[in-house]
Amino acid sequence: EVQLVQSGAEVKKVGESLKISCKGSGYDFSTYWIAWVRQVPGKGLEWLGIFYPGDSDVRYSLSLQGQVTISADKSINTAYLQWSSLKASDSAIYYCARHINWGDGYFDSWGQGTLVTVSS
């Protein structure tokens, strides 16, 4: 069974750094793209970017580029989303999701979500 298990909720202050994780199991982690999707509570889904653990290829949403870093450690089947300096507007639920067939593909498995709260 494919599973994506994310790290727990975080409460941070503006300007702090943060790294959240997503551990995959039940499949060959290196051979599937893994994406991060943001959702402000009560709002819609927003794609942030995607990473291919096999060769470390990464793509970012142009609206977010430079604000977050997506990476992965394929030796421990874990993907990461990190911020160097959080803003209040980064408060949201962050989902990781496995992507099938980059390009025209879809997300077939999702993590449970990580709630990030940033206060001033």
Partner 1 sequence: SSVLTQPPSVSVAPGQTARISCEGDNFGSRPVHWYQQKPGQAPVLVLHDDSDRPSGIPERFSGSISGNTATLAISRVEAGDGADYYCQVWDGTTDHVLFGGGTKLTVL
Binding site for partner 1 (CB under 8 A): 35, 37, 44-47, 50, 59, 61-62, 95, 97, 100, 103-108, 110-113
**Distance from chain centroid for Cα 107:** 13
Question: From the CB of 95, what's the least distance to partner 1, in Å?
Answer: 6
Judged on CB neighbours under 10 Å (0-12, 13-18, 19+), 29 is: buried
Question: From the CB of 33, what's the least distance to partner 1, in Å?
Answer: 10
| Closer residue to partner 1 in complex, CB, 37/72 | 37
| Closer residue to partner 1 in complex, CB, 49/53 | 49
Question: From the CB of 21, what's the least distance to partner 1, in Å?
Answer: 16
For residues 20 and 7, is the Cβ–Cβ distance under 8 A?
A: yes
| Closer residue to partner 1 in complex, CB, 80/110 | 110
Question: From the CB of 31, what's the least distance to partner 1, in Å?
Answer: 18
| Closer residue to partner 1 in complex, CB, 41/75 | 41
Residue of 87, 71, 76, 86 whose CA lies nearest to 34: 71
Q: Distance between CA 36 and CA 81 in Å, rounded? A: 8
Residue 34 gets which letter from DSSP? E
